[in-house]
Structure 1
Amino acid sequence: MSTTNLRRRLHHGDLDGRKNEHVDISSADSLNEPLLGKSSDDNFGSEVYDPRRQDLWDDDRKKEQLHWSFLFSNLIAQWAQWLASIIVSSVSVFGRLFPFSENQINPVYLSPLQEQRLNTLRRRLQIPFDGSRIEHQDALRQLWRLAYPTREIPPLKSELWKEMGWQGNDPSTDFRGGGLISLENLIFFARNYPNSFQMLLSKVQGQRADWEYPFAVAGINISFMLVQMLDLKSSVPSSKYGIRFLEFLERDENAFDHLYCVAFRLLDAQWLVKRASYMEFNEVLKSTRTQLERELVLDDVLEVKDLPSYTMLDE
């Protein structure tokens, strides 16, 4: 029986047990009323039948029956109210133990294509950069060729790597938590958006600070920021940004790399607007993430190329 039905049938106000209406049975027709009227052993045998007394007797019986009906109804009503109070309390306790809100994100169900592409991306995230591996060394050389097509590739340990924005003469020491995917992101940026890549690498746009952000190291930080923002280390992304990214991933297997390029271009734009210098890099990175989060949840954004900031990229 629902709480609404109980309220409609019983008319007992609140169902939390704090307000109760009681049937008034304190009238003359109470349990103090004798069942057979007054009688005594002395005049029992000599009592004369009187029709008026019989009518009174019948009236007494009717009143008694009515009285018991009231008592029974009141008992049933109180029992029902007690039951309803237990139900309401149980729901309240359940709500405290398992809180739900109308803004709670529904469970995420991946399509086979989403699951396949998400697993592929996760495998990329799990590969640390290892400067001793030939394929990782080749990836660094490939990045140099894309960045400086007319220049000779330097040794893997050289002061020339600082020109690209590595902090020391050995780029492998700068990856840390970025992993191989951060190098792959830089290579993807250089291949697919060469004009924007060269513009950010050479810092040719806008009025620049004397102490600029290092290009390559900034790229590693952007990769790391995106992994956190999209909740990609979870078994299934549960944040609203991660869920929206899963929609992008179903439409484009390279959605993460494209989003990386947007984020890098946006970071540079934020840097110029804020007239920032090296010590303010983290603040600019944070504002870049905030802007991306705003754009990711726009209703008309169905893929990376729908993001407003994507228009800043130049192929």
Structure 2
Amino acid sequence: MTSRTLRRRLHHGDVDGKGREHVNTSVRDGLNEPLLGNYDYGGSPVEGSTYEDTWDDERKKEHLHWALLFSQLIVQWAQWLANIVLGSGALIGRLLPLPSITHNGQTRKLLARPLSPLQEERLRNLQQRLQVPFDGSRVEHQDALKQLWRLAYPGRALPSLKSELWKEMGWQGSDPSTDFRGGGYISLENLIFFAETYPGPFQSLLHKRDGNRADWEYPFAVAGINVSFMLVQMLDLQSGKPTTLAGMRFLELLGEDEMAFDKLYCVAFQMMDAQWLAKRASYMEFNDVLKSTRTQLERELALEDVSSVKELPAYNLLKR
């Protein structure tokens, strides 16, 4: 099957992300608490799980254990071959891109690829953005919130920074600053970028214009923060240099476009809403939808003929 055929299948037949879901649930430093739903994003049992569920999980873990041992042998063989033949894992990584291996929530790292000076600079700038927490007392952060309101509701009067009107945008309370938690300032920047760059899709998601919606919908703004969480984890951006498959593929996109993360965020948000509609989900299923979104996005990032965010099959969702 060619990669272009695979892209068509991903776009037209796998929008619900049900096929062979593989989710990297590695979490770090404040990114381990979902803002919506009751799912433990780290994969541990949640309240209300049955003994049979736990037993099934144990059997799955046993199978995963043996699968992991076999996968480790393959990885070690590839590293040995690379060291002997090439003295480096760079070329073998290009010829034999190994999938990320996840076991008990821990991701096995892949052979790191050398970065160009441009990639290193852009990755460093992005990681610096990730380190900025949202601070409701900073004037520039207050101004950013006001900018988001103006973009979301052009022509409407700007409310005070603590107002019940913010709930209309999908914040959980009257003070949006309490919803950021570990999301950081970049999650607000992501929302603003979405509103400025793709105003049509942004407005459609904000006002839930597409499809038959659930009676209990996800809150737009807080869902956007969750999408930022998911991307940071999936792309392994809190590592010095990402070494997961999705992370390394993202670095290639970043080398082509400095705003690749922000554009990928827009794609992921739109993809999440498409998954939401396909699953006919409601509020308490949000984290399951986010997991499916991550699975599909990882698949699309792995496609060989994708060299920019705009070449992802799901980018077409932003053209509607």
TM-score, structure 1 length as denominator? 0.68
Q: Which amino acid aligns with 1:230?
A: L
For residues 137-177 of structure 1, give each alpha carbon's deviation from its aligned partner in whole angstroms, at most 9, with x where no partner exists: 00000000000011011000000000000000000000001
Paired residue for 1:313? 318
Equivalent position amino acid for 1:100 in 2: Q
- Distance, in Å, in 2 between the alignment partners of 1:302 and 1:196 is 23
Query: Which residue does the alignment assign to 1:177?
Result: 182
Query: Does residue 300 of structure 2 align to residue 295 of structure 1?
Result: yes
Distance in 2 (CA, whole Å) between partners of 1:163 and 1:106 is 46
**Paired residue for 1:154?**
159
Task: Provide the C-alpha distance between the structure 2 equivalents of 1:284 and 1:117, rounded to a whole number of angstroms.
Answer: 30
1:116 aligns with 2:102: no
Within a 5 Å distance, the mapping from 1:62-101 to structure 2 comes to 100-101=76-77
Counterpart pick for 1:142 among 144, 147, 159: 147
Q: Shift of the alpha carbon at 1:108?
A: 1.9
The residue type paired with residue 77 of structure 2 is: S
The residue identity in structure 2 corresponding to 1:186 is L
Query: 1:209 maps to what in 2?
Result: 214
Instruction: State the shift of 1:201 in Å.
Output: 0.1
Other-structure match for 1:127: 132
User: Are 1:257 and 2:262 matched, yes or no?
Assistant: yes
SS of aligned partner of 2:319: coil
CA shift for structure 1 position 273: 0.5
Aligned with 1:274 (options 272, 279, 285) = 279
Partners of 1:228 and 1:210 lie apart in 2 by: 30
Secondary structure of 2:184's counterpart equals helix
| Count of residue pairs the alignment pairs up | 220
Question: Aligned residue for 2:289?
Answer: 284
Paired with 2:289 and 2:310, the residues of 1 have a C-alpha distance of 23
Return the offset for 1:110. 1.0
Identity across aligned pairs (percent)?
Answer: 71
Q: Which residue of 2 aligns with 1:34?
A: none
Distance (whole Å) between structure 2 residues aligned to residue 101 and residue 194 of structure 1 = 49
Say if 1:229 and 1:241, in contact at 8 Å, map to a contact too.
yes
What are the superposed Cα offsets for residues 66-125 of structure 1, whole Å, 9 maximum, x if unpaired? xxxxxxxxxxxxxxxxxxxxxxxxxxxxxx99x713348433211110011000000100
CA deviation map 1:277-297 (0-9, x unaligned): 000000000000000001000
Unaligned residue ranges in structure 1 (runs of 5+): 1-95
C-alpha displacement of 1:314: 3.1
Higher relative contact order (CA 8 A, sep 6+): 2
Structure 2: which amino acid aligns with 1:201?
Answer: L
1:7-59: CA deviations, max 9, x gaps?
A: xxxxxxxxxxxxxxxxxxxxxxxxxxxxxxxxxxxxxxxxxxxxxxxxxxxxx
> Whole-Å Cα distance in 1 between the matches of residues 223 and 77 of structure 2?
38
1:108 touches 1:236 (CA, 8 Å); kept in 2? no
Is the contact made by 1:130 and 1:172 (CA closer than 8 Å) also made in structure 2? yes
Alpha-carbon distance in structure 2 between the residues aligned to 1:105 and 1:314? 34
Kindly name which structure, 1 or 2, has the bigger radius of gyration based on alpha carbons.
1
Mapped to 2, the partners of 1:110 and 1:219 lie a distance apart of 30
